[in-house]
């Protein structure tokens, strides 16, 4: 099993989402490719990137190919993985900007999804995603959680519909109970 790990917490020391991913990776075993979005920030998409993305591959200039190179590399990592681990702390009720930049670079029409007469179709089927969410006060699944539903939707949009969550939410309210619940969720994951 090839595992792709995406860390998006701006914190390294004391990061709960990173600790949860450590525990999940240990539970699953197997080789892990790690992409740390805090250590290696990704660029935002630009007009040049958009123009390159919507130019047929055979017609792209060298500049356009260069503009898409990072996106191509991220998608290759995603395609090579059987399981994707995503660390997603909740910042201001949603995901970190670093994780949104990764999503913008991997959600590409004709590459990871396509439009059909029946609507969009994800092209990365047969993969599993485990998302470790940490929050200070936002309860995962509540009406103020704009992270978990978005991540489930966007992963499904690119074809990854086997999505599980490990949540250490409301840490500022009862950290011990939250971490215990997350530990139980990790223990219940199929290896």
Q: Which two tokens stand for residue 60?
A: 């792209």
Q: Is 9 annotated as a binding residue?
A: yes
Distance CA 146, CA 173 (A): 19
Bridge partners (DSSP) listed for residue 134: 89, 168
Strands annotated E in the chain: 3-7, 32-36, 83-89, 113-116, 119-122, 128-134, 162-168
Tell which residue, 87, 65, 63, has the closest CA to residue 4: 87
Tell me if 178 is assigned to a ligand binding site. Answer: no
CA angle 164, 142, 88 (to 5 degrees): 45
The three-class DSSP label of residue 79 is helix
In angstroms, rounded to a whole number, what is the distance separating the alpha carbons of residues 100 and 52?
20
Annotated binding residue 135: no
17 annotated as a binding-site residue: yes
Check if the beta carbon of residue 97 is closer than 8 Å to that of residue 104: no
Residues 177 and 64: their CA atoms lie apart, in Å, by 50
Q: Residues annotated in the binding site, as ranges?
A: 9, 15-17
Q: Residues annotated in the binding site for FMN, as ranges?
A: 9, 15-17
């Amino acid at each position: 099993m090839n595992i792709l790990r995406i860390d998006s917490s701006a914190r390294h020391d004391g990061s709960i989402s990173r600790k949860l991913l450590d525990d999940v990776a240990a539970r699953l075993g197997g080789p892990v490719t790690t992409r740390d979005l805090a250590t290696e920030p990704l660029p935002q998409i630009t007009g040049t990137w958009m123009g390159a993305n919507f130019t047929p591959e055979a017609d792209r200039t060298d500049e356009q190919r260069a503009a898409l190179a990072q996106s191509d590399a991220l998608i290759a990592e995603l395609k090579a993985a059987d399981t994707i681990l995503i660390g997603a702390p909740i910042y201001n009720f949603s995901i970190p900007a670093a994780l949104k930049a990764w999503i913008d670079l991997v959600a590409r029409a004709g590459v990871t999804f396509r439009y059909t007469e029946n609507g969009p179709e994800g092209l990365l089927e047969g993969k599993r995603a485990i998302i470790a969410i940490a929050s200070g006060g936002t309860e995962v699944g509540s009406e103020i959680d704009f992270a978990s539903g978005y991540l489930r939707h966007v992963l499904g949009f690119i074809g990854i519909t086997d999505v599980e969550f490990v949540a250490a939410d409301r840490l500022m309210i009862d950290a011990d109970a939250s971490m215990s619940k997350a530990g139980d969720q990790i223990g219940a994951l199929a290896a």
